[in-house]
């Protein structure tokens, strides 16, 4: 019974993730609503897109897709950056340093303070799977 409740809860969480993305350029031109996997919509704040575009070079506006997706790593305080290399480049610019595919809790907090509507944080499904596998082997 608890497994079913947990399964439905996870489905609800994962269905709230973005089904579509927009480029910075599209958002600046007015596409500020994105559809989620549960068919609801998420509103991107125009002022956040304008602030973002002021920091990201013009040549990246058609390459960087928002919202940014950070996936919680099994490691404490670490997040994976989902998406193409251009999103990682944009995050590097926003943080003021080169980054790999992983950023730290402090980085996520800094970005969330400025861009609340441009970031989704998703739990890693592999963490749950790994923990369940380890428990069943005991």
Count the helices and strands in the chain (H runs, E runs): 6, 8
The dihedral formed by the CA atoms of 82, 16, 55 and 61, expressed in degrees to the nearest 10: 80
What is d(CA 18, CA 108) in angstroms, rounded to the nearest whole number? 18
Whether residue 62 is predicted with pLDDT greater than 70 in this model: the reply is: yes
- Going from N- to C-terminal start, the domains of the chain cover 2-137
% residues pLDDT > 90 (the chain): 72
- Say if residue 109 is exposed, middle or buried (CB neighbours under 10 Å; 0-12, 13-18, 19+): exposed
Q: What is the pLDDT of residue 13?
A: 55
Per-residue pLDDT tens over the stretch 5-45: 555 555 555 567 899 999 999 999 999 999 999 999 999 99
**pTM confidence score:** 0.80
Q: Once rounded to an integer, what is the mean pLDDT over residues 113-127?
A: 85
Whether residue 133 is predicted with pLDDT greater than 50 in this model: the reply is: no
């Amino acid at each position: 019974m608890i497994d079913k409740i947990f399964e439905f809860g996870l489905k609800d969480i994962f269905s709230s993730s973005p089904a579509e993305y927009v480029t910075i350029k599209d958002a600046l031109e007015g596409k500020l609503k994105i559809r989620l996997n549960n068919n609801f919509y998420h509103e991107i704040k125009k002022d956040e897109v304008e602030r973002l575009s002021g920091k990201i070079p013009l040549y990246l506006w058609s390459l960087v897709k928002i919202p940014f997706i950070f996936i919680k790593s099994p490691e404490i305080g670490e997040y994976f950056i989902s998406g193409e290399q251009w999103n990682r480049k944009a995050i590097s610019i926003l943080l003021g340093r080169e980054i790999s595919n992983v950023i730290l809790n402090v980085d996520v907090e800094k970005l969330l303070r400025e861009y609340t509507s441009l970031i989704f944080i998703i739990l890693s499904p592999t963490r749950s799977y790994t923990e369940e596998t380890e428990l069943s082997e005991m």
